[in-house]
């Protein structure tokens, strides 16, 4: 849960940064703001998504591998492995 909060905060901060950077590079004229507002947000969102995915994917991969190792090390009781995992085998 904490990871989700951190990544969302990071994403919003990056989006604001890139949106301001694009506006600064291309000027803040009235015509730019009226005609290219959507394009500005689209480009800033794309850059933000790329950076967020590049940063979060390795952490997610390690987390999922650790979770799978924990499940693989547990004894499975019953006929359906997905339904009955026992943390305290008898």
pLDDT of residue 20: 86
pLDDT tens digits for 10-49?
A: 888 888 888 888 888 876 666 666 677 788 888 888 999 8
pLDDT of residue 57: 87
Cα gap 41→21, rounded to integer Å: 11
pLDDT of residue 67: 84
Answer whether residue 69 shows pLDDT above 60. yes
Range of the domain at 58: 2-86
Contact 15, 44 (CB under 8 A): yes
pLDDT of residue 76: 55
pLDDT of residue 34: 67
The residue that leads in pLDDT, 3 or 9, is: 9
Domains identified in the chain, total number: 1
> What percent of the chain clears pLDDT 70, i.e. is strictly above it?
69
Contact 48, 14 (CB under 8 A): yes
């Amino acid at each position: 849960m904490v990871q989700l909060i951190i990544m969302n905060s990071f994403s919003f901060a990056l989006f604001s940064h890139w949106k301001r950077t694009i506006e600064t590079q291309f000027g803040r004229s009235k015509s730019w703001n009226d005609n290219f507002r959507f394009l500005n947000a689209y480009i800033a969102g794309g850059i933000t998504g790329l950076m967020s995915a590049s940063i979060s994917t390795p952490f997610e991969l390690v987390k999922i591998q650790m979770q799978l190792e924990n499940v693989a090390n547990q004894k499975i009781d019953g006929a359906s492995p997905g339904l009955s995992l026992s943390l305290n085998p008898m």
